[in-house]
Amino acid sequence: MKQKISGLLMALLLAFAVVNNATACTNYLITKGASVDGSTMISYAADSHVLYGELYHWPAATHPIGSMLKVYEWDTGKYLGEIKQALTTYNVVGNMNEHQVAIGETTYGGRSELGSQPGAVVDYGSLIYITLQRAANAREAIKIMTDLVAEYGYASSGESFSIADKDEVWILEMIGKGEGEKGAVWVALKIPDGYVSGHANQARITTFPQSIKKNAISSNEMDKINNPEIECVYAADVVSFARNKGWYTGDDADFSFSDTYAPVDFGGARFCEIRVWTMFNVVAGGMDKYWDYVKGDILHNDKFENGKSNPNHYATNRMPLWIKPEKKVSVHDMMNFMRNHLENTELDMSLDVGAGPFASPYRWRPLTWKVDGVTYCNERATATQQTGFSFVTQSRSWLPDEIGGIIWWSVDDASGAVYMPMYSSITKIPYNFEVGNGSMMEWSETSGFWIFNQVQNFAYARYNAIHPEIQKVQTELETGFISMTPAVDAGALALLESNREAALNYLTGYSCGVGADVFNIWKDLYQYLFMKYMDGNTKTKAELPEGYLYVAPHVEFPGYSPETYKLIIRETGDKLKVTGSSH
């Protein structure tokens, strides 16, 4: 299916194209005061072994009164039902809209009793993309999301959402009410300006204010959500629902959303919280004290550090939801946060025997495995092989919405990907990354997803030799795009003053050109790397001497590292030993 797709047809095809999507993702959240340039930023890696990376697009549209929208579950393509269509919907590029609103997610699951809600119409993926078509700011997005699940039911398990606009960044955590009731319980908190946060498949909101005197409102007071002093919004029954289920006892003020609805366990810390820790550890000191926690050592002391008792057996050594960074974060910093493999820690996968002879920081699934009845695990780093797409969004308040929103978007493993600037107002998607150009089981020679996977999968075989070559080109492209951004902004601004359509066409042409250039560069890179590194040797092109018809390339046989050879001998003894005279 290689035709161009738009409108409702695109929405339908998108829903059917995605199967068993991201249940293992990573989000980082950066406020204006914590960023180098004053932009808000969120990142997202959509990690799934069967998610095909393509850049979604819904054009702005108007709809007749009484129109209905069919909803299909993002993970499975299953038809869930219909909801009322909005009269006006906004242009959406990936996970960002024309008003610079961006939404990401990570699935934490939570209590299994709440994972199914018969008759629910809105799942977490549809919730994101429907909201992006309707919300002009983050607060509006929170209201739309929570109103939708209240009216139509919530068809997913527990989710953490990152929601950003050009001024604010919020985290919203939600879990359904199970089979007994329609809707969800939830809490949303505004990240304080100057701070950073993150979530990675473990619910992270613990206690929260529950009084308007403390800048908080319940869902019964949503008419006050646009008051800038409000920094917390929560479902009116978020505590009482848990009490009625017998999951919580104590004062409302001591209620922890995460510890009640998604208690952290070994996997929640070791596979999930550790990814938040890696970003926190880069931007601020003092994170060593949480190292044992993120390795999976969860404490449940009788009392908290403040001396309060712990009747609900909550975890008592958790990381904070947000921290103040010691240095401000750039957009390129954000890209590199998404490439972390637990480097410079004792859990760096490139340093143990599982790394093989070429220092690979990757382990193939399953995530846990047994030897002699004992369960062991691989590490789950931020950068992982099974990423469908990832992005970093920038919302920039000092620019008009048509120019201010950029989604730096890429496909496949972030470690080997290139983040490309896609302005959120563009009216067309680069051909090599648009929906319908290939699928997970349909090869396309013009698909960006497939060429990036070709390069990265080739690199996995000899990672310490090939990855540095990829990284060099990746860095050159990204730093080039970043340095070009002010000039592109200026060109669009000049056009916008007199002709909005011309400005949008200009930005569309630029982003589509970037997509085409990156695809072609990566195709050439694959050919170069394959010729140089095939068959386990390393070849470089030789100059043709005078008088020669042709000349062979220079070839080297790097073999394995000394440590690998020693390991082989420890395993094989004298079996490979060379004795006697050689021939």
The answer to whether the bond into 366 is cis (omega within 30° of 0) is yes
Residue 219 vs residues 122, 148, 150, 152, 162: alpha-carbon distances, Å: 19, 13, 10, 16, 19
**pLDDT value, residue 24:** 79
Share the mean pLDDT of the chain.
Answer: 94
DSSP per residue, 517-571: HHHHHHHHHHHHHHHHHGGG-EEE-----TT-S--PPEEE-----HHHHHHHHHH
- 153: which 2 tokens? 């039911």
- The answer to whether residue 526 sits within a structural domain is yes
Residues 166 and 190 reside in one and the same domain: yes
Question: Is the pLDDT at 4 greater than 70, yes or no?
Answer: no
Q: Does the structure show a pLDDT above 70 at 1?
A: no
What pLDDT, on a 0 to 100 scale, did the predictor assign at position 11? 38
Which residues span the domain enclosing 281? 1-536
Question: Based on the domain organization, do 110 and 230 belong to the same domain?
Answer: yes
Mean pLDDT check: name the lowest of 414-423, 455-464, 574-583: 574-583
Q: Is 190 part of a structural domain of the chain?
A: yes
| 525 belongs to a structural domain | yes
Whether 260 maps to a domain, the answer reads yes
Q: How many CB atoms lie within 10 A of CB 574?
A: 7
Taking the alpha carbons at both ends of the chain, their separation in whole angstroms is 59
Sorting pLDDT into bands at 50, 70 and 90, what band is 582?
low
pLDDT band at residue 19, thresholds of 50, 70 and 90?
very low
pLDDT digits (tens, 9 = 90+) for 226-268: 999 999 999 999 999 999 999 999 999 999 999 999 999 999 9
Q: What is the mean pLDDT of residues 79-108?
A: 98
Question: Average pLDDT for residues 20-35, to the nearest whole number?
Answer: 83
Query: Is 266 domain-assigned?
Result: yes
Residue 578 lies inside a defined structural domain of this protein: no
Q: Is 217 helix (H, G, I), strand (E, B) or coil?
A: strand
The DSSP secondary-structure symbol of 452 reads H
Phi and psi angles of residue 314, each rounded to the nearest 5 degrees, phi first: -65, 155
The percentage of residues in the chain with a pLDDT greater than 70, rounded to a whole number, is: 96
pLDDT confidence bin for 5, thresholds 50/70/90? very low
Asked whether residue 577 is domain-assigned, the answer is: no
435 and 560 within one domain: no
Give yes or no for residue 402 having a pLDDT over 60. yes
- pLDDT(532) > 80: yes
Digit-coded pLDDT (tens) for 411-454: 999 999 999 999 999 999 999 999 999 999 999 999 999 999 99
Tell me: do 556 and 525 sit in the same domain. no
Strands 232-234 and 216-218, sheet pairing = parallel
Cβ partners under 8 Å of residue 181, min gap 6: 241
Residue 583 confidence (pLDDT): 53
Burial of 229 (0-12, 13-18, 19+ CB in 10 A): exposed
Do 453 and 531 fall within a single domain? yes
Higher pLDDT, 415 or 16: 415
CA dist 144 and 188 (Å) reads 13
Q: Is the pLDDT of residue 64 over 50?
A: yes
If asked whether residues 245 and 313 sit together in one domain, one would say: yes
pLDDT for res 540: 95
More reliable by pLDDT, 75 or 165: 165
Count: domains in the chain: 2
Q: Which residue has the tokens 């042409």?
A: 509
Q: Say yes or no: 513 and 563 in one domain.
A: no
- Judge whether 580 lies within some domain: no
Does residue 312 carry a pLDDT above 50?
yes
Same domain for 526 and 567?
Answer: no
pLDDT at 546: 93
User: What is the C-alpha separation between 236 and 242, in angstroms, rounded?
Assistant: 12
For residues 185 and 149, give the distance between their C-alpha atoms in angstroms, rounded to a whole number.
10
Q: Indicate whether 23 pLDDT > 60.
A: no
Task: Indicate if the alpha-carbon torsion angle 571, 572, 577, 583 is positive or negative.
Answer: negative
Same domain? For 348 and 453 the reply is: yes
One domain, residues 503 and 384:
yes
Would you list the DSSP string of 32-71? GGGBSSS-EEEEEEEE-TT----B-EE--EE--TT-EEEE
What would the mean pLDDT of 93-119 be, rounded to a whole number?
97
581 has pLDDT over 80: no
pLDDT of residue 163: 99
Task: Calculate what percentage of the chain has a pLDDT beyond 90.
Answer: 94
Strand partners, 442: 439
Residue 167, CA distances (Å) to 32, 65, 129, 178 in order: 7, 32, 21, 35
Residue 180's pLDDT band (cuts 50, 70, 90): confident
544 plus 472 within the same structural domain? no
490: which 2 tokens?
């200026």
> Are 165 and 235 in the same domain?
yes
